[in-house]
Amino acid sequence: MCGIVGYVGPQNALNFLIEGLKRVEYRGYDSAGVAVFPQNGGRYESYKCKGTIAALEREVSPLQQLYISGIGHTRWATHGEPTERNAHPHFSADRSICVVHNGIIENYDQLRQLLQEDGVIFSSETDTEVLAHLIAGYYRPGEDLLKAVSRALQTVEGTYALAVQASDQPELIVGARNGSPLIVGVGDGEMFLASDISAVVSHTEKVIYLEDGELVSLTRNGFHTFNLQNMEIDKKVEDIQFQISKIDKDGFDHFMLKEIYEQPYTVADCFRGRLLPEQGNVKLGGLELLEGTLHKINRITITACGTSWHAALVGEYLIEELAGIPVEVEYASEYRYRNPATGPDTLVVVISQSGETADTLAALREAKMRGNTLVGICNGIGSTIARETDCGIYVHAGLEIGVASTKAFTSQVTALFLLAIKLGRSRGLSGSRGVELVGELMAIPEKISSILEDAESIKKIASIFLDCHNCLYLGRGYHFPIALEGALKLKEISYIHAEGYPAAEMKHGPIALIDEGMPVVVIALHYGVYDKVLSNIHEIIARKGRVIAIAHKGDEHIGRLVDQVIYIPGCTEALSPILSAVPLQLLAYYIAIARGCNVDQPRNLAKSVTVE
């Protein structure tokens, strides 16, 4: 959530800041602002507003002069309402220090009280303003700004990515990171700072990734990095593995729809080069460190948040069925605050689309402190989770702009399927079964394409939901997590209240809600508990509920039974969650569009949740 951009160099800083903020607005925000230094001298000029970057751009468009440096920000409100007053940048009382900040200062109340006792008057409700006043208290004009920032941060508890400037040093930007991502773009006679690589990718191919507890000073001539004890450290400059074209809609109305339609390719990209079809096995280069210990693992904990947690639930079914290893799935936000039972033979798998999710990172570090072996599954190349786990699997879904995850989810399930086969073949899964499973996986992209070809029929079904206020999603076995995921997609982007349940649990409470105004989506695929699911459907119909079923092509019986059917191709049950998720993504999308919702940037949501 939130976005930071900074620039120092010969180009017009204001142009870069506005462009960079546009590149990171997909992460979610409610206000935006910039502070820039004019070439002809003088103090900052600051512009900020509640609402969109487009509104900020209109405000600054009349400006004609050249700005040599500046910092900008998109805010997602934590402390204080989304107002112009609370928008970043924030300044010290004498405006000598300017700050933009992602994260949360946890001891903000105590620091604010101490500053107020010293006579500091606050002009906003934010925790960030505390940082501006603290830094100003340690800074003297012409002295080392980075040291002042470092001293201030030693009094701070919480998470942050910062960009800081001083009014008397316009060609200097100081950045700092702890628990929230921050990168440096290295240019030719210019330097960039950003919280997201997409902000700098059109300007440079070279970046450095700051780690927690690191600070950086930027001038147009280069950078120096330090730790909080002011000791200079060497940082590796890395090549960007990212294409700017991935940020375009490619003719689709929304990024979410584009990303839904990319899934035949992203699922294939996840398994490409990793399959050994003749051996019925997979090769996961990222797990080389585990090769000698896979057979020793006697328990697995998977921890994640949101959509990634639903992928983890599918992973539980996959690993227990194919490898016979007990699996427990934990909410990352809960994991670190209890005393989970883990031992030396427990493998901890952490899943995050961005690789920067704060709660998942906290769970990772808790598991590391306990001495567990850590595997990361993420989409963010070079992300914190990718760097801090022992080994891992990149899902290779490419940049996902839509806040409601789609292609990353199916790629995560694909990665977990690969892991399950790898573990299974190390402990008893037969070669013939492995060959069958690998062959089935290779056919999945084409089957996803066939579902997408039928999108218009799903669009027509969406009209059923337009006036409803509540909806149930039901599934059993592998499809209980997909019911949860389908319900999450609907409420995320259409704002219709929806809940997912195991189908048999409907009788234990939710059945009281069913009437003619309650649509019920039932995943009714022809596997082992098919007849049980049909019984649940009859119970819904008896109470005048409207049923939308996800069924296998050729299932004429269910077509005669329910109001609407979305048909999908058949496959082995272990891979069916990938196929059944796709029509539910389309259903949520078309419902939200018909209700006039912003599907790419739903209200109150952020793409990467970097605060607890």
Centre a 10 Å sphere on the Cβ of residue 65 and count the other Cβ atoms it contains. 11
Centre a 10 Å sphere on the Cβ of residue 31 and count the other Cβ atoms it contains. 25
Cα distance from N-terminal residue to C-terminal residue, the chain: 11
Report pLDDT digits (tens) over 69-127. Answer: 999 998 877 777 888 888 889 999 999 999 999 888 889 899 999 999 999 999 998 98
How long a stretch of residues is the chain?
612
- At residue 197, the pLDDT reads 83
Q: Which fold has domain 454-612?
A: Rossmann fold (3.40.50)
Q: Which fold has domain 248-448?
A: Rossmann fold (3.40.50)
Kindly list the catalytic residues: 2, 607
Closest to 521 (Cα-Cα) out of 410, 529, 456, 510: 510
Instruction: Take residue 601 and report the two structure tokens written for it.
Output: 């940037």
Q: How far is CA 384 from the centre of its chain?
A: 13
Q: Which fold has domain 3-244?
A: Glutamine Phosphoribosylpyrophosphate, subunit 1, domain 1 (3.60.20)
Centre a 10 Å sphere on the Cβ of residue 346 and count the other Cβ atoms it contains. 20
- At residue 374, the pLDDT reads 87
- At residue 372, the pLDDT reads 83
- At residue 324, the pLDDT reads 94
Closest to 602 (Cα-Cα) out of 90, 50, 76, 39: 76
Q: Tell me the C-alpha distance between 408 and 353, whole Å.
A: 6
- At residue 608, the pLDDT reads 54
Q: Please determine whether the domains at 3-244 and 248-448 fall in the same fold group of CATH.
A: no
Which residues does the chain have with pLDDT short of 70? 1, 27-28, 241-247, 605-612
User: Structural domain boundaries of the chain?
Assistant: 3-244, 248-448, 454-612
